[in-house]
Amino acid sequence: MTYHSAPQRWPRQILFGDVDAMFASAAVVKDPRLAGKPIAVGGPPPRGIIAAASYAVRPFGVHSAMPTAKALQLCPQLILLPPDRPLYRRLHETMQTVTSRLFPLTEWSSIDEFYAETTDLQSLHPDALTLGQLVKDELYDATGLCCTIAVATGKTVAKIAADNHKPDGLVVVKPGTERSFLAPYPLRALPGIGPKTASKLVALGLTTISDLLDPRWDQPLHRLFGHGLVWLRELAQGIDREPVVADRASKSVSRETTFERDTHDRPFLERTLRGFLRELAHDLRQEGLAAGGCAVKLKDSRFTITTKHGRFPHALNYDPDMWPTVKHALHELMKPGADYRLVGVALTALTQSAPGLFDNRRAKAIEAMDALIARHGSSVIGLGGVSQEE
């Protein structure tokens, strides 16, 4: 008698995809003669920086964020290519078409990385490995780009798994194995553990993620992380409930109010908008988002609505930096002699606040905590305190 066991159904399933050396690979898609050649994308020396290094030049020690001059010393035969943003944008859009066809919910966290919610696809694709291979193949067929794919029960484990199986990787971390999967990785692999925190932990004698769970270090870890330790220890076991959030870029957030009496008092309108902006920017920071622009809206006593759009110099989520643009839009909009019954502001073109970095509000809070710890030493600074301060 044989037993045929059906694959285990996952309580939650997230698929993470990351294009291998996106910019360098895109150059090969455009010109296949560059395949296997020692290429890198970046600015020319003396001041240029490497934006992406192909896998062919990595054995020489060339990596992104390195000065081009240094990269040329390490690898004199390096072929340096300028960035081609329109090409990256086009490839990104093609990949988005593929992911929106395959998945009910996809979150692109940067131009070449996405999370997909695949829990409900399990009846169609009961085997995670087969699903991962399908996604790899579909993306390659559509773009010529090779991805590393990881499937796990949460975003953090999926991301760490993919980072450690590049290039051309396909990895599945099954439910219940998260803790043992994470255990041997260095502390720095966890999102939110920056170089400063890592060096403090190493000084205490901790080296791997499993050390964070060791009761031997309870006291110093409590001193270092305060209430944040509970969350950090959950993460170290692969407990991670961060949801996949779709279409962040197309969303906007807004506040408006109607006054009891119509007004043309400019300082009053400014104060009202300033208050709204403070709240909206706070919300963005809490969600790890930033806005590329704003829209100010006025309704006058004749119920005529006018709006004025403003664009920030770059995506922002800190209201003092956003205010000059919002204020300027208000001034442009106000007409002499008009009274207003409503004023409002919307923040538009929302994006992840730190593309490429791990994107959740707790990572941001820990980042802030990192900075505080660096400044004030290892006093008791909890996550709760930091996020309330924001």
What amino acid positions are annotated as catalytic residues? 113
Task: State in angstroms the smallest separation of the CB of 101 from Mg ion.
Answer: 21
Task: State in angstroms the smallest separation of the CB of 380 from Mg ion.
Answer: 38
Whichever of 10 and 114 has its CB closer to Mg ion, that residue is 114
- Region 220-279 residues binding Mg ion, contact defined as CB under 5 A: none
Binding region for Mg ion (CB under 5 A) out of 15-23, 179-187, 192-200, 219-227: 15-23
CA distance 163 to 165: 6
CB atoms under 10 Å from CB of 35, counted, come to 13
Handedness of CA 252, 257, 262, 265 (dihedral sign): negative
Residue 18 as a binder of Mg ion (CB under 5 A): the answer is yes
- Region 112-171 residues binding Mg ion, contact defined as CB under 5 A: 112
* Residue 158, token pair as written in the block: 């999926």
Whichever of 22 and 131 has its CB closer to Mg ion, that residue is 22
Task: State in angstroms the smallest separation of the CB of 83 from Mg ion.
Answer: 15
Task: State in angstroms the smallest separation of the CB of 249 from Mg ion.
Answer: 18
Residue 367 as a binder of Mg ion (CB under 5 A): the answer is no
Whichever of 272 and 351 has its CB closer to Mg ion, that residue is 351
DSSP state of 208: B
Whether residue 249 contacts residue 287, with contact meaning beta carbons closer than 8 Å, is answered with: no
- Region 89-118 residues binding Mg ion, contact defined as CB under 5 A: 112
Task: State in angstroms the smallest separation of the CB of 20 from Mg ion.
Answer: 6
CB atoms under 10 Å from CB of 1, counted, come to 2
Number of residues that bind Mg ion (CB under 5 A): 4
14, 19, 75, 350: which one contacts Mg ion (CB under 5 A)?
A: 19
- Region 39-78 residues binding Mg ion, contact defined as CB under 5 A: none
Task: State in angstroms the smallest separation of the CB of 357 from Mg ion.
Answer: 13
Whichever of 24 and 386 has its CB closer to Mg ion, that residue is 24
Whichever of 18 and 242 has its CB closer to Mg ion, that residue is 18
CA distance 128 to 136: 12
Q: Return the exposure string of 275-304: e unless at least 16 CB atoms fall within 10 Å of the residue's CB, then b.
A: ebbeebbeebbebbbbbbbbbbbbbbeeee
List CB contacts of 114: < 8 A, sequence separation 6 or more: 16, 17, 95, 99, 106, 107, 108
Whichever of 155 and 285 has its CB closer to Mg ion, that residue is 155
Binding region for Mg ion (CB under 5 A) out of 19-27, 199-207, 239-247, 358-366: 19-27
Q: Which residue has the tokens 């995506």?
A: 315
Whether residue 15 contacts residue 135, with contact meaning beta carbons closer than 8 Å, is answered with: yes
Whether residue 224 contacts residue 373, with contact meaning beta carbons closer than 8 Å, is answered with: yes
CA distance 27 to 385: 46
Residues forming contacts to Mg ion in the complex (CB under 5 A) are 18-19, 22, 112
